[in-house]
Structure 1
Amino acid sequence: MPVYPEQAYAHASDADIAVRPITTGDVFDALGKGTADFWRHPSHYLFIALIYPLVGIALAVWSAGGATFALLYPLAAGFALIGPVAALGLYELSRRRERGEDDDPRHALAVLHHPAIGSMTAVGLLLAVLFILWITAAGAIYEAHFAIDPPTTLMGLITETLTTAQGWSLLFWGNLVGLVFALVVLATTVIAFPLLVDKGGSPGRAIGTSLRAFGKNPVPILLWGAVVALILLIASIPLFVGLAIALPILGHATWHLYRKLVP
C-alpha cells in the first residue's frame, strides 16, 4: 500500500490552486512526454489499457448484432467522455516517476488506496451520468429522424445516413449535441483527475480548477481536446484495438499537461 505525504492533502479541499497560462506548444510537448512515459514500460501499459478496447469491442459486437445497432457510433464516441477514469493508474505512475519514486507497473493500482479516492469516484460518477445522458440524447435524435421506416441493417443505416437529407440532418444534430457534451467534459475535468491524484481535495475544487484552467487557456485546451479526439478516432478504427496504445499515451500526456498548468 502506498504512503502519500500527509502535507500534500492537509486542508486540500479548502486550498486554492494556482493555474498558469500555457501555449499550444505545451500541448504537443505534453504529448511527447506522455509518449516517452509509455515506452518506459510499454508491455505493462498494453496489458492495463486492453481492458478499455475490449469493452469497446464487446459493445460494438452487441450493438451491431442487435436492435440497437444505431447507437454503435454514439457508444464509440462516448468512450471519450469516460476515458479519464481509465487513466487513473497512469497518473499515479507519472506522479511517482516525477517524484523519483518507484514507478514499477504494479503501483498503477495504488491509486485505489489514495486518500482522495472518494472524490475521484464522485467525479467518475459525474462522467458516467454524462455518458448516459449522451447515449439517451443520441437515441432521441435517431428516433426523431428514423422513427418511421427505420433501417433494418447496419449497412442500410450507413447508406441512409450518408445519402439522404434526413441522414445528413442526423449527422449534423448528433455531432452538434455530442460536441456540447465533449466541451462540458473537457472544461470540467481536463485536469480534475490528475489534480486529485497529485493534491487530493474535493470534487468541487478539482472541477473548479479545471474550469479556471480552461477559462485561462481556452485555445490550448481546445487544441488538446481536438488532438485527443483525433487520436481516439484513429485508434478506434481497427475494432478499437489501437486504443491499447493510444490510451496510455494520452493518460501520461494528460499528467504532463496538468503539470504545465499547475506548478
Structure 2
Amino acid sequence: MHTIRNPIEWGMDALKDAAQAVEAAGSSLPADETAEQAGHPSVRKIGVADLREALAKGFSDFGAYRSDVIFLCIIYPAISLVLIHAALNYDMLALLFPLASGFALVGPVAAIGLYELSRRRERGLPASWLHAFGMVRAPSFGAIAILGLALLALFVLWLGAAQLIYLLTLGPQPPASPAAFLSDVLTTSAGWTMTLVGLGVGFLFAVVVLAISVVSFPLLLDRPVGLGIAIGTSVRAVAANPGIMALWGMIVAGALVLGSIPLFLGLVIVMPVLGHATWHLYRRVVR
C-alpha cells in the first residue's frame, strides 16, 4: 500500500537516491586502476558518544600541534578583517553577515591541511606545519581541487542570493550607515523578512555543503577514490546519521560564531579543533 510519508523520511530517501546517483556518475568517469580497486566505502551509524570522541581527539591534536596550527590558521581572522573592511567601505554593508557566515561553506577546504596533520599523527609519522601541504601529493588531489572549487562556487552563489534578498526587501539603495542598517533590520517588516528569508536560504546552502563535504575531503586525502565516490559516500553518511550530522552541523555553526568574537580572533583556535575533529569523525563514520 502507498502511504504518505513524513518529510524526514522523504528527505532521507532523497539523500540516499542522490548519493547513489552521484556515485554512479562518478563511476562512469575515467579512473585509474588503484581508484577502481578501492571500491565504494561503507558507512556506519554513529552516536553522540562518537561526536564527543571526535571532538576530544580534535582537542588532543590541537594540543600536540598548537604552534603549527596557530601559524597555519592565523590567516582566517586576517581574511575576515579584510572582508569586513571591504564591506564597510565599498557599499557592501548588507553582505557583512553573509560574508562572515560563508566561512561555514568554505571551511572544509580550509581544513585540508589539518586533516593531513591528524592523519600523520594517527599513523605515528612526524608532522609539522610544512607537512600540512603534503596533501598536494595525495592520489586524489585533482578531485580535492575540483571539490574545493565547487564549494567556492557555492559560496559565491550564497553571496549572490543574499544580495538578491536584500534588493527585494531593504534595497535597492545601499545602507546609509551601519546604525541605519541595523535599525532597518530590527525595526521594520522588510528587515525581518530579509532576516528570515536569508536564514532559510543560508540553511539550505549549509545543508548542501554538509551533505557533500562532511567526510569527502578526508576520504579523498586518505584513499585513492574518485570524486563521485567521495561525494556519494559523504551523502550516504549524512543519510545514515541525520540527527547526529545535524547536531554536528550545529556544533560547527555555534563554534564558528563563538570564534568570530571578538574580531574573528577565536578562529585561530576554533578552526584547527574543528578541522582535526572532522578527521576523527570521518574515521568513526567511514569504514
TM-score range, shorter chain: over 0.9
Instruction: Provide, for residues 150-187 of structure 1, a one-character-per-residue CA deviation record: whole Å limited to 9, x for no partner.
Output: 53111211111011111111110000000000000001
1:21 alignment partner, one of 34, 45, 62: 45
The reply on whether 1:65 has 2:117 as its aligned counterpart is no
Q: Which residue of 2 aligns with 1:4?
A: none
The reply on whether 1:208 has 2:235 as its aligned counterpart is no
Q: Which residue of 2 aligns with 1:173?
A: 197
The reply on whether 1:183 has 2:207 as its aligned counterpart is yes
Q: Which residue of 1 aligns with 2:152?
A: 128
Letter in 2 for 1:22: I
Q: Which residue of 2 aligns with 1:6?
A: none
Tell me the C-alpha RMSD between the 2 structures: 1.4
In structure 2, how many angstroms separate the alpha carbons of the residues matched to 1:202 and 1:23? 28
* Residue 105 of structure 1, CA deviation: 3.1
Instruction: Provide, for residues 129-165 of structure 1, a one-character-per-residue CA deviation record: whole Å limited to 9, x for no partner.
Output: 1001000000000000122565311121111101111
Instruction: Provide, for residues 86-115 of structure 1, a one-character-per-residue CA deviation record: whole Å limited to 9, x for no partner.
Output: 111111111111112222332111112222
Counterparts of residues 225-240 of structure 1 (less than 5 Å): 225-240=249-264
Letter in 2 for 1:154: P
Question: Normalising to structure 1: TM-score of the pair?
Answer: 0.93
In structure 2, how many angstroms separate the alpha carbons of the residues matched to 1:150 and 1:103? 48
Letter in 2 for 1:70: A
Task: Answer yes or no: is the 8 Å Cα contact 1:53–1:244 preserved in 2.
Answer: yes
* Residue 200 of structure 1, CA deviation: 2.6
Letter in 2 for 1:152: A
In structure 2, how many angstroms separate the alpha carbons of the residues matched to 1:221 and 1:227? 10
Q: Which residue of 1 aligns with 2:63?
A: 39
Instruction: Provide, for residues 166-211 of structure 1, a one-character-per-residue CA deviation record: whole Å limited to 9, x for no partner.
Output: 1111110000000000000001110010001111321111100000
Counterpart of 1:237 in 2: which secondary structure?
coil
* Residue 125 of structure 1, CA deviation: 0.8
The 1:13–1:202 alpha-carbon spacing in structure 2 relative to 1, beyond 3 Å, is farther
Counterpart of 2:34 in 1: which secondary structure?
coil
1:88 alignment partner, one of 104, 108, 112: 112
Task: Answer yes or no: is the 8 Å Cα contact 1:12–1:199 preserved in 2.
Answer: no
In structure 2, how many angstroms separate the alpha carbons of the residues matched to 1:197 and 1:233? 28
In structure 2, how many angstroms separate the alpha carbons of the residues matched to 1:13 and 1:135? 40
Counterpart of 1:90 in 2: which secondary structure?
helix
Same amino acid, percent of matched pairs = 45
1:242 alignment partner, one of 266, 278, 281: 266
In structure 2, how many angstroms separate the alpha carbons of the residues matched to 1:94 and 1:56? 25
2:72 alignment partner, one of 48, 54, 58: 48
* Residue 226 of structure 1, CA deviation: 0.4
In structure 2, how many angstroms separate the alpha carbons of the residues matched to 1:54 and 1:26? 33
Task: Answer yes or no: is the 8 Å Cα contact 1:188–1:211 preserved in 2.
Answer: yes
2:129 alignment partner, one of 80, 95, 105: 105
Task: Answer yes or no: is the 8 Å Cα contact 1:13–1:205 preserved in 2.
Answer: no
Task: Answer yes or no: is the 8 Å Cα contact 1:94–1:252 preserved in 2.
Answer: yes
The 1:107–1:12 alpha-carbon spacing in structure 2 relative to 1, beyond 3 Å, is farther
Could you tell me which runs of 5 or more consecutive residues in structure 2 were left unpaired when the two chains were aligned.
1-32
In structure 2, how many angstroms separate the alpha carbons of the residues matched to 1:211 and 1:109? 27
In structure 1, how many angstroms separate the alpha carbons of the residues matched to 2:218 and 2:253? 19
Q: Which residue of 2 aligns with 1:224?
A: 248
Task: Answer yes or no: is the 8 Å Cα contact 1:231–1:246 preserved in 2.
Answer: yes
Counterpart of 2:45 in 1: which secondary structure?
coil
Task: Answer yes or no: is the 8 Å Cα contact 1:13–1:202 preserved in 2.
Answer: no
Could you tell me which runs of 5 or more consecutive residues in structure 1 were left unpaired when the two chains were aligned.
1-8
The 1:117–1:148 alpha-carbon spacing in structure 2 relative to 1, beyond 3 Å, is closer
Aligned positions, number: 255
Instruction: Provide, for residues 23-82 of structure 1, a one-character-per-residue CA deviation record: whole Å limited to 9, x for no partner.
Output: 022112211110110011211111101112211110011111221111010000011100
In structure 1, how many angstroms separate the alpha carbons of the residues matched to 2:77 and 2:99? 12
